[in-house]
């Protein structure tokens, strides 16, 4: 396809595919643990990290990464302690993150144009250097999921039975939350803060409708996300629409197609 002759489109494709592998690998566990709202929450915390980084002149990605991981640990701690209702803790961090972001970004005036990029993604503006750190994070996340696959499965399928068997469930819960945080930072670059959770959740839901095993669900979710990224980027190029929106709409279209196809077959 001639559109991928352009360097920026090549980089967009690589960035998108990195997210397509990472987000569903974490998202399947997240959806099945009924923790998918945490992705949205951590994405808003990431924006606060961007704000802080811009203010002190650091790289926004580093700021987002640091603050999102800290936020993830905080959310997980609140959840595990049971002091707050799980979803109330999430609401607290979500609005708190956004509020901090708005305040910090307003202090660092003149950079407001970038805000839209962080909110809705700027995949066409991804630099080769961006690709390097995104690939590093993606390898870290996917490597962790591969390494702890059987432990995360045991945790997700039946936390209590896993705990009884001696599976370190507390540590795995922390790990999973941190993986979400890292994924969100990768997603921020591709589809933006407001749409990142879609790529964690929607391909996982689609795969769960079709797959006949857990391993199959993970593989299929990655494939579905990759198709959505490719379709979304192509559509955004030819129709001149925002790539992030196009990618997410493509993933939702695949979900709808899978649901419809299943209904037809029955």
Span 213-252, contacts to other proteins by CB under 8 A: 213-217
Span 2-61, contacts to other proteins by CB under 8 A: 32
CA distances from 15 to 111, 114, 121, 163 (A): 24, 19, 11, 37
Closest approach, Cβ 33 to other proteins, in A, equals 10
Q: Does 170 bind other proteins (CB under 8 A)?
A: no
Q: Which stretch binds other proteins (CB under 8 A): 66-74, 158-166, 176-184, 243-251?
A: 158-166
Q: Does 157 bind other proteins (CB under 8 A)?
A: yes
Structure tokens at 201: 């959740």
Size of the site for other proteins (CB under 8 A): 29
For 116, residues 6+ apart whose C-beta sits below 8 A from its C-beta are: none
Q: Which stretch binds other proteins (CB under 8 A): 19-27, 68-76, 180-188, 210-218?
A: 210-218
Q: Does 167 bind other proteins (CB under 8 A)?
A: yes
Q: Does 86 bind other proteins (CB under 8 A)?
A: no
Instruction: Return the residue matching tokens 């994405």.
Output: 43
Q: Does 116 bind other proteins (CB under 8 A)?
A: no
Closest approach, Cβ 202 to other proteins, in A, equals 15
Q: Does 162 bind other proteins (CB under 8 A)?
A: yes
Q: Which of 14, 140, 163, 174 binds other proteins (CB under 8 A)?
A: 163
Q: Does 154 bind other proteins (CB under 8 A)?
A: yes
Q: Which stretch binds other proteins (CB under 8 A): 43-51, 67-75, 153-161, 223-231?
A: 153-161
Positive/negative CA dihedral, 20, 46, 41, 144: positive
Q: Which of 150, 263, 265, 266 binds other proteins (CB under 8 A)?
A: 150
Counted residue by residue, the chain has a size of 266
| Alpha-carbon gap, residue 204 to 214, rounded angstroms | 11
| Alpha-carbon gap, residue 49 to 65, rounded angstroms | 7
For 220, residues 6+ apart whose C-beta sits below 8 A from its C-beta are: 206, 207, 210, 211
Q: Does 139 bind other proteins (CB under 8 A)?
A: no
| Alpha-carbon gap, residue 199 to 31, rounded angstroms | 12
Please, which residue, 107 or 171, has the CB nearer to other proteins? 171
For 154, residues 6+ apart whose C-beta sits below 8 A from its C-beta are: 161, 162, 165, 167
Calculate ∠ Cα 58-27-86, nearest 5°.
Answer: 85
Q: Which stretches of the chain bind other proteins, using CB under 8 A?
A: 32, 147-148, 150-151, 153-154, 157-158, 160-168, 171-172, 207-208, 211-217
């Amino acid at each position: 396809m001639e559109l991928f002759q352009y360097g920026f489109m090549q980089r967009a494709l690589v960035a998108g595919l990195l997210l397509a592998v990472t987000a569903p690998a974490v998202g399947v566990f997240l959806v099945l643990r009924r923790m998918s709202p945490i992705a949205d929450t951590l994405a808003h915390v990431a924006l606060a990290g961007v704000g802080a980084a811009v203010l002190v002149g650091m790289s926004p990605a580093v700021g987002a990464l640091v603050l999102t991981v800290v936020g993830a640990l905080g959310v997980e701690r609140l959840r595990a302690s049971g002091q707050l209702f799980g979803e109330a803790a999430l609401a607290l961090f979500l609005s708190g993150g956004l509020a901090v972001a708005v305040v910090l970004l307003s202090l660092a005036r003149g950079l407001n144009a970038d805000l839209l990029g962080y909110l809705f993604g700027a995949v066409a503006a991804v630099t080769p250097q961006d690709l390097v750190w995104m690939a590093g994070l993606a390898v870290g996340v996917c490597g962790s999921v591969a390494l702890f696959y059987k432990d995360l499965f045991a945790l997700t399928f039946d936390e209590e039975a896993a705990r009884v068997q001696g599976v370190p469930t507390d540590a795995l819960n922390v790990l999973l939350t941190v993986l979400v945080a890292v994924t969100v930072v990768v997603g921020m670059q591709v589809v933006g803060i407001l749409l990142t959770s879609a790529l964690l959740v929607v391909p996982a839901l689609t795969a769960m409708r079709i797959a006949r095993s857990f391993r199959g669900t993970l593989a299929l979710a990655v494939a579905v996300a990759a198709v959505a990224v490719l379709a979304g980027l192509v559509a955004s190029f030819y129709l001149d629409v925002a790539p992030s929106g196009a990618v997410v709409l493509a993933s939702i279209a695949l979900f709808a197609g899978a649901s419809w196809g299943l209904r037809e077959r029955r």
